[in-house]
Structure 1
Amino acid sequence: MTDSFIRPVDPASGIVAEPLKSTSAEEVATAVERSRAAFRSWRFTTVEERKALILKAAESLESRAEAIGRVITSEMGRVLAESVPEVTKSAAFLRYFAGIAEDALAPTELDLTPLGITAKTARTIHEPRGVAAIVKPWNAPVQQIVWALAPALMAGCTAIVKPSEYTPRSALELQRAFDDAGFPEDVVITLPGDGATGKALIEADIDVAAFTGSIATGRAVAEIMGRKIRKCVLELSGKDALIVDRDVAGADLVAAGIVYGAFSNCGHWCSSIERVYLPNDLADSLVENVLVKTNALRVGPGDRPGVDVGPVANRAQFDIVKEIVEDAVARGAEVLCGGGPLDVPGHEGGLFFAPTVLTNVPADARLSTENVFGPVVAIETYADIDDAIAEANKSNYGLGASVWTDDPERADYITRRLDTGMVWVNEPLQSLAACPWSVYKDSGIGVELGASGVREFTFEKVVQSQMSDNAAPRAWYFPYK
């Protein structure tokens, strides 16, 4: 059998990195066997034992944050001002899960007294599901893995990570942190590879899958896991809206929030702001401010000091962004700034796309419904807040939304009517380890982060006990009266 290879490309220069061997289906099967063997003992380690190892991994990761950040930037273009904090934030997430796991996994005593049962007790305990397959994308190649890996390990699962073929070395740097921490052999395994590797892993003898990616691939993962009657946690991106209420004072902060929400990480967040709805009477001044701030963004290679927005992460995504914008313009959308590829002197092979703001985007344009996952945002106006909410809810996605208002009652009114798993008030797309990353509609199923994220990798075992009055037979046993 001929080996296949993955060849990551620096999106700022077009330079192809040294190829890495793609993990074959046979090697995947062997890795799953090794992981299952490791699970037999790992599942019986204490939370304190797991915590100690996770904290060591966090220390190792944090100590090499600068170097790992540069690997991230070389693989997917993210600016160092974001790549290095991604690593330190991932270390903080590891510490968070190490700290909350004991409470998250604590048994729950069940109250039987309303049933008139006094001799029995009952409780639920959280048992690890087994071998967890973690298949994650390129847009935050260390953080995305940690979001699933840390809770899986603290729950008592072993884990096999299949990173994106665009960012394998970032994931291998994370693997090194767990190796340096002294994790038992095969508790954490990273398998570089392409889509065939990921498919082989999902089809293998795993017990739970955590996948982040497209709706189409998410459906395929769900179908495979469904046939096996095994659990999956899916986060399938979004098309997040930002709604500005009339009652908002900090207009400059609102404009800054729109620009940050749309263009940080080159728009490569599942929760990036792709649609903005402004009240008619504030629209002109806010749009002008947004354009000033957008035009001031410095676009260039991610390792250049002072750069705000790096290249689009890979050629496939670059083509998607370009085609979606071209489609919107062809159908009548107005480009307010940006609108196409950008030449950066000295980096002619780079995948740079100008931060783009459009308006009057027709409903039949791809931009109105598809997830762009790039530095593009559409701004529209509204006369009535309920109209803005209705437009925001038209999407088949249901990840997050951002609401800007100084009125708590208005914030609650809008929040309760948005069909999304998350709402940020006066802030876009913020991820906090304690806050569940919740999804709705086609954005997926299950939860990441928070105590709920730990329990996703467990099943509830119900234990009923009677430790008294055991000398006489039960009244309901045979023979029946």
Structure 2
Amino acid sequence: MIEVKSIIDGEEVKSDQYYYRECPYDTEKTVTKAHVANVEDLKRAIDTARDVFDNNRYNWVSDYKQRDRILFKISEKIREESQTFIELLVNEIGMPLRQARAHVNAAADIFEYYAGFGAKLYGNMKFLPNGDLIQLVKEPVGVVGAITPWNFPLTQSARKIAPALAVGCVVVWKPASYASAISYHLAKVIMGSGIPKGVVNVVFGPGEKIGSELVKDSKVDKISFTGETTTGKGIMQEASKNIKRVSLELGGKNPFILFKDANINQAIKGLMYGMFRNAGQACGATTRLIVEESIASEVEKAVVNAVKKLKIGNPNLEDTDVGPVVSKSQENKVLSYIDIGIKEGYKLLIGGKKVTSTELEKGYFIEPTVFSNVDNKSKIAQEEIFGPVLVIMYFRSEDDAVSIANDVIYGLTASIWTNDYRKALRISRMIKAGSIWINDAYTQPSEGLWGGYKQSGIGRELGLQGIEDFVEVKMLYTNVNDAYTHFKQVYKE
């Protein structure tokens, strides 16, 4: 069992209150004991961050070379500590071994990608027709409140912390309680990189208390949040009271559009990856299969055969494809949606139950589940289930496919499968989503971007766009020729 403590101004902080985290694949095992911070701890973390930024302690804001060296070091240390991170991901959130390994590498890649940006963040300048000069200067936004989720705890945290540090911001980080040990170990790696005290402060505690106060505090310049859409709406509403900057990476109900001219075999492999990685607990999961009607029967059989080959089991095993969902409450939520699908009369092709086999009965395992001939207006087609549940719908024309794909409140990702590249481009132009994969699914390179249209959020992470969310742009206007002719519009000598 790992004991987790908040880290404020470089020092670990204990508490008289704790919360315990059970292992999701063996609930008789406790994996984490986390000290619960109070509001006073949070205030101290915010004050520390404010002081570091406002007074440029350790030359943090001005010395981009220092920041670049530290980001490189964090990346190296994540790779050095990869085995520990993998074990924590498996035991604390139930991520299968192969997926955990890739997840750790992806987090290291993000820190590595943003290392070096501090030295390469340029503004712009331009001489005006009257000879005067304008300069556009990019500056760090200030104190960033980062609120991160449990489903992909390393990469989601890296996407916020790495670009924020690259440009000279300081961070107060509130990780998800389900992933406290994973987040704590990442925090320890960051602290061991040579980063100055108080640049990153980590506060563990419930979202309704610690997260809420972090959003409300006027000393925090920006909130970067990843999580559920309803929570994101609340954050946006609260932040509006003092016009706090926000970026929100929220939910998705993402289409996987499959045309009859696609490579069906490869498409089904992509669907299994896009839908069932991390037991479907992914905002970008391709949870709606929209298939051309003429190949519906063929595709449904192929989907069922592919699901049958998925191994549900202990995430410590190399051949496990689908692990448990993260908690009892998540298990109940997913099973309730499956029950809705059954009661509404949609055809259950496979799955639909909690796994009760002897070796898995102590965990939160749910069978990968597929419903077919689903009405896109139904709850299971419209709402984010965040579990291993796929719904299948049919289309006859390109316009029909686009209409179904866009007919949700979300717009995070989409996957388009066809061997006609012109068709793929036509469809991608019409789909309202932030990331669109053509003959691929759920790839997230550091060089790309992540974020969504509509109620999937505001702002973008990863790539060059990920930097822009943590800077302010300031104009400097220099009168070069002493003409001052524009003054005469108001003042005449």
TM-score, normalised to structure 2, is 0.92
Shift of 1:28: 0.4
Q: Deviation digits for residues 136-193 of structure 1, max 9, x if unmatched? A: 1100111110011100111110011111110101011111111111100010111111
> Which of these residues, 30, 38, 49, is aligned with residue 16 of structure 1?
30
> Which of these residues, 453, 459, 466, is aligned with residue 466 of structure 2?
453
Q: Does 1:107 align with 2:119?
A: no
CA distance in 1, matches of 2:187, 2:287: 33
Unaligned runs of 5+ in 1: none
Code of the residue aligned with 1:55 in structure 2: it is F
Q: Deviation digits for residues 256-311 of structure 1, max 9, x if unmatched? A: 11111110111111100110111122222222122111111111121123111110
For 1:266, the equivalent position in structure 2 comes to 279
> Which of these residues, 36, 46, 51, is aligned with residue 50 of structure 2?
36
Counterparts of 1:202-351 in structure 2 under 5 Å? 202-204=215-217, 205-248=219-262, 250-351=263-364
Shift of 1:29: 0.6
Is this contact kept in 2: 1:240–1:274, CA < 8 A? yes
Code of the residue aligned with 2:95 in structure 1: it is R
Is this contact kept in 2: 1:447–1:453, CA < 8 A? yes
Aligned length: 472
Shift of 1:19: 2.4
Q: In the superposition, relative to structure 1, how do residues 64 and 168 fare at CA in structure 2: closer, same or farther (>3 Å)?
A: same
Unaligned runs of 5+ in 2: 1-14
For 2:184, the equivalent position in structure 1 comes to 172
Is this contact kept in 2: 1:256–1:290, CA < 8 A? no
Is this contact kept in 1: 2:117–2:166, CA < 8 A? no
State percent identity of aligned pairs: 28
Shift of 1:43: 4.9
Shift of 1:13: 0.3
For 2:487, the equivalent position in structure 1 comes to 476
Q: Does 1:128 align with 2:145?
A: no
Code of the residue aligned with 1:181 in structure 2: it is S
Shift of 1:404: 0.6
Shift of 1:101: 4.4
CA distance in 2, matches of 1:234, 1:473: 44
CA distance in 2, matches of 1:436, 1:130: 22
Shift of 1:221: 0.7
Q: Deviation digits for residues 70-98 of structure 1, max 9, x if unmatched? A: 11111110011111221121111101011
Shift of 1:347: 3.2
CA distance in 2, matches of 1:414, 1:43: 46
Is this contact kept in 2: 1:100–1:451, CA < 8 A? no
For 1:97, the equivalent position in structure 2 comes to 114
> Which of these residues, 134, 148, 171, is aligned with residue 159 of structure 1?
171
CA distance in 1, matches of 2:302, 2:230: 37
> Which of these residues, 446, 467, 471, is aligned with residue 433 of structure 1?
446
Specify the SS of the correspondent of 2:329: helix
> Which of these residues, 367, 370, 394, is aligned with residue 380 of structure 2?
367
Q: In the superposition, relative to structure 1, how do residues 469 and 428 fare at CA in structure 2: closer, same or farther (>3 Å)?
A: same
CA distance in 2, matches of 1:460, 1:87: 33
Q: Does 1:186 align with 2:198?
A: yes
Code of the residue aligned with 1:81 in structure 2: it is R
Q: In the superposition, relative to structure 1, how do residues 370 and 184 fare at CA in structure 2: closer, same or farther (>3 Å)?
A: same
Shift of 1:110: 3.0
> Which of these residues, 62, 67, 80, is aligned with residue 50 of structure 1?
67
Specify the SS of the correspondent of 2:22: coil
Specify the SS of the correspondent of 1:476: helix
Shift of 1:364: 5.2
Is this contact kept in 2: 1:6–1:194, CA < 8 A? no
Is this contact kept in 2: 1:259–1:294, CA < 8 A? yes
TM-score, normalised to structure 1, is 0.94
Shift of 1:22: 1.1
> Greater CA deviation, 15-24 or 239-248?
15-24
Code of the residue aligned with 1:46 in structure 2: it is D
> Greater CA deviation, 184-193 or 13-22?
13-22
CA distance in 1, matches of 2:45, 2:145: 11
Q: In the superposition, relative to structure 1, how do residues 474 and 271 fare at CA in structure 2: closer, same or farther (>3 Å)?
A: same
Is this contact kept in 2: 1:6–1:19, CA < 8 A? yes
Q: Deviation digits for residues 290-346 of structure 1, max 9, x if unmatched? A: 211111111112112311111011112111111011101100111111111112433
Code of the residue aligned with 1:53 in structure 2: it is I
CA distance in 1, matches of 2:212, 2:427: 40
Counterparts of 1:351-390 in structure 2 under 5 Å? 351-363=364-376, 365-390=378-403
Shift of 1:5: 2.4
For 1:395, the equivalent position in structure 2 comes to 408
